[in-house]
Amino acid sequence: MDISTVKPERTVFVIGAPRSGTTWLGKIFDSCPTVLYRHEPDTLIPNEHFPRVVADEEVAAYVDEAAAYLDALVRGRFLKSSGTLPIFRKTFRSLPMHMAYMSMIMGLRITHKASGDVRRMRRILAPDVIDPQRVDGLTVVIKSILSRGRANLFAMARPGMRIVLILRDPFGQVASMLRGVSLGKFDAAVMLTDCLDTPHARRYGLTRALFERLNPVEQYAWHWALLNEKALEDLQDYPNAAVIRYRDLVYDPYAVTRSLFAFSGLDWNEQTERFLRVSTTSNLPDSYYQVYKNSMDSLNKWRRQLTTDQQRQIVSTLSDTVAWRRYPELHGVPD
């Protein structure tokens, strides 16, 4: 089956910043038995046709290339994008097919760990194992942390596609990014300067010279504000867009997920309900990329991780930004 032929209205694109809850949200969607999930395929499929931040006046010039690129992301069945855990039962696989699929994915993952060549193994193709007689109602969900600057382009390139933008509060966002740098999960400067390519940076008078003089807390705060504001502005008139806050998903995961499933044309199901229950109440040891957590503790961890001075720096940086208005309940921080 050519998955790229799935209609745009049966495609959901989940976007957000790194460390904003996209992985958990992606797995919530993946828990639906009719969803074929793609985890960050754009980190493995190179894009040389359009910039990471696309201005409105550039959309028309790149729309054809973007449509082809989205088709490639739908087809992106690499081990990293198709073999993330946990693995859920699907209506488009019989039980024997499901068992075969699990065996292949686990075998590939074991080989991946044993090889020591992480970059090469992530690109190994993993089979989708889809029964063409069982594909009625199949929805493809793609999760990306690289697409906030291209939301306008992707909305135009695949009309009818559902786009879900998740926002995490800036305190939690910045704290998690700083922790990731300290743990060596990614480069300290990863993706930071792309926010300077937005018209919003110019609107706030933020030049490259000014940005480079800021400390990391202030830089991460600006990155949070500018790219989220661009995505919010790009999607404000797009009829198939939904914006959620990570904290609302944590406080009421069942209601928010039901709303997102209805928006995406997905049915509520016992498997999703079970995953929500287990993934929000876990007592497993803390792991940076773990989806099984005590979600309320995870939501408020920044209060222990950020100093009072760091919290004040974030508030001072964001006080005049539009994105900061999305969090009125945090405007008294630090108290």
Residue partners of 24: CB distance under 8 A and separation at least 6: 249, 279, 291, 295
At 100-127, the pLDDT tens digits run 999 999 988 887 777 766 666 667 888 8
**What does the pLDDT read at residue 190?**
56
Distance between CA atoms of 133 and 231, rounded to whole angstroms?
Answer: 38
Distance between CA atoms of 150 and 15, rounded to whole angstroms?
Answer: 10
At 76-103, the pLDDT tens digits run 999 889 988 999 999 999 999 999 999 9
Number of domains in the chain: 1
| pLDDT average, residue stretch 171-195 | 83
Residue partners of 47: CB distance under 8 A and separation at least 6: 69
Q: Which amino acid is at 66?
A: A
Distance between CA atoms of 106 and 116, rounded to whole angstroms?
Answer: 16
Q: Does some domain include residue 202? A: no
Q: Does some domain include residue 160? A: yes
Distance between CA atoms of 263 and 8, rounded to whole angstroms?
Answer: 14
Note the Cα 315 to chain centre separation in Å.
24
What percentage of the chain has pLDDT greater than the value 70?
94
Q: Given pLDDT bands bounded at 50, 70 and 90, which one contains residue 187?
A: low
Report the chain's C-alpha Rg in angstroms. Answer: 20
Q: Does some domain include residue 67? A: yes
Q: Which residue matches tokens 């929500």?
A: 276
The answer to whether residue 191 scores a pLDDT higher than 80 is no
Q: Is the dihedral of CA 237, 227, 24, 295 positive or negative?
A: negative
Q: Does some domain include residue 115? A: yes
Q: Does some domain include residue 332? A: no
At 254-298, the pLDDT tens digits run 999 999 999 999 999 999 999 999 999 987 776 766 888 889 988
Q: What residue numbers bound the domain in which 101 lies?
A: 3-171+240-296
DSSP 114: H
Q: Does some domain include residue 186? A: no
Q: Does some domain include residue 22? A: yes
CB of 39 within 8 A of CB of 87?
A: no
Question: Domain of 39: which CATH number?
Answer: 3.40.50
Distance between CA atoms of 263 and 240, rounded to whole angstroms?
Answer: 8
At 242-261, the pLDDT tens digits run 999 999 999 999 999 999 99
Q: Does some domain include residue 190? A: no
> Between residues 271 and 5, which one has the greater pLDDT?
271
Q: Is the dihedral of CA 171, 172, 175, 178 positive or negative?
A: negative
